Amino acid sequence: MPNLDAIRSKLLNAQSRFLTAADSIPFANWQTRASDSSWSASEITAHLCQVESSIIVNAERILKHEPRHIPFTKRFRLPLFLVEYRVRRLRSPLPVDPTLLAEKDAQLGDLRAVRDRTLAFLDETKSRNLAAYRFPHPFLGMFTIYNWLDLIARHQIRHSKQVHEMATLLPNRVTPSQI
């Protein structure tokens, strides 16, 4: 069983990094795209909420049953560290839900609530060994629930980098002298 404190720490660190990056986006530019082919900070935040919620809902669903036997040959997965790198852009298989788009403070509050739910899930399941429970990632292969929790943190770090880059491209960006 992995170290749950390490997973919790990664989740909290990733959240902190994202919130710091989000602070660099002015309220007026929260829903502004830096280019036609990119997402706004609002869309990124909605995406993060959707993905994390979806992972936790799937994990809760499969934990209601006995773990399925998955043959060794079907357990292949790519390394999780690839999630953090923004070398290759992938289109999310989960389209952004427009009902989740809102003002900056409301969305960041929603993001915090989703993370609180993930941490509660970690607390609720800490006495169980979740290593036998697996479900597939659309691009990277088969993950255990512990891998999925690690992926949540790495995915948020990936998007923290994206928001940070976006802040340098948007007009009227906040600089330390303006704060």
Confidence at 19, pLDDT banded by 50, 70, 90: very high
More confident residue, 172 or 105: 105
Q: Cβ–Cβ contacts within 10 Å for residue 89, how many?
A: 8
Number of domains in the chain: 1
Q: What is the pLDDT of residues 149-170, one digit of tens each?
A: 999 999 999 999 999 988 888 7
Percentage, residues of the chain above pLDDT 90 = 54
Q: What is the mean pLDDT of the chain?
A: 85
* Average pLDDT of the residues in 26-50: 92
Q: Which of 162, 166, 169, 164 is nearest to 83 (CA)?
A: 162
Report if residue 8 sits inside a domain.
yes
Q: Using a pLDDT cut of 70, give the percent of the chain over it.
A: 81
Secondary structure letter of residue 95 according to DSSP:
-
Decide if 61 is inside a domain: yes
In a domain, 178, yes or no: no
CB atoms within 10 A of CB 52: 23
Supply the range of the domain harboring residue 60: 4-173
Tokens representing residue 42 in the block: 């609002």
Residue 93 domain-assigned (yes or no)? yes
Length of the chain, please? 179
- CATH code (residue 122): 1.20.120.450
Q: How far apart are CA 103 and CA 162, in angstroms?
A: 19
The answer as to whether 179 is a domain residue is no
Say if residues 156 and 51 touch (Cβ distance below 8 Å). Answer: no
pTM for this structure?
0.83
The answer to whether residue 107 is domain-embedded is: yes
